[in-house]
Amino acid sequence: MIRLGYPCENLTLGATTNRTLRFAHLTEERAREKVAENLRDLERVLRWNPPHGFALFRIGQHLIPFASHPLFPYDWKGPTRKSSPASGPWPVPSASGFPCTRGPT
């Protein structure tokens, strides 16, 4: 079985999970904005993919920009946990028969 997929951006939807900002401009407000936009588009992509025959999608490295940096301005895990597909079961891929996996945390 061949599974088709693509990385980081869905040009048909105009959706990307790779928005980021410069470290010099890193503030809590801007970080929250980018994280929210990336998660919103991730959900759009994951809902769009199965009906269109895509079983794989590579999430970009900037989904949570600067999340591992010691000066990151807020605890992104708490506020985004309920809205993040990577934080737990995501119903769209499993409902379509495609597995949903993620890398190590």
Q: Residues 34-74: pLDDT tens digits? A: 989 999 999 999 999 999 988 888 887 888 888 888 888 77
Assess if residue 16 is contained within a domain: yes
In a domain, 102, yes or no: no
Residue 38 domain boundaries: 5-80
Q: Is the pLDDT of residue 7 over 60?
A: yes
User: Which SS3 state, helix, strand or coil, does residue 15 take?
Assistant: strand
91 in a structural domain: no
Q: Does any domain span residue 23?
A: yes
Distance CA 34, CA 69 (A): 16
What is the pTM (predicted TM-score) of this model? 0.71
CA 54/CA 50 separation, integer angstroms: 5
Total count of domains within the chain? 1
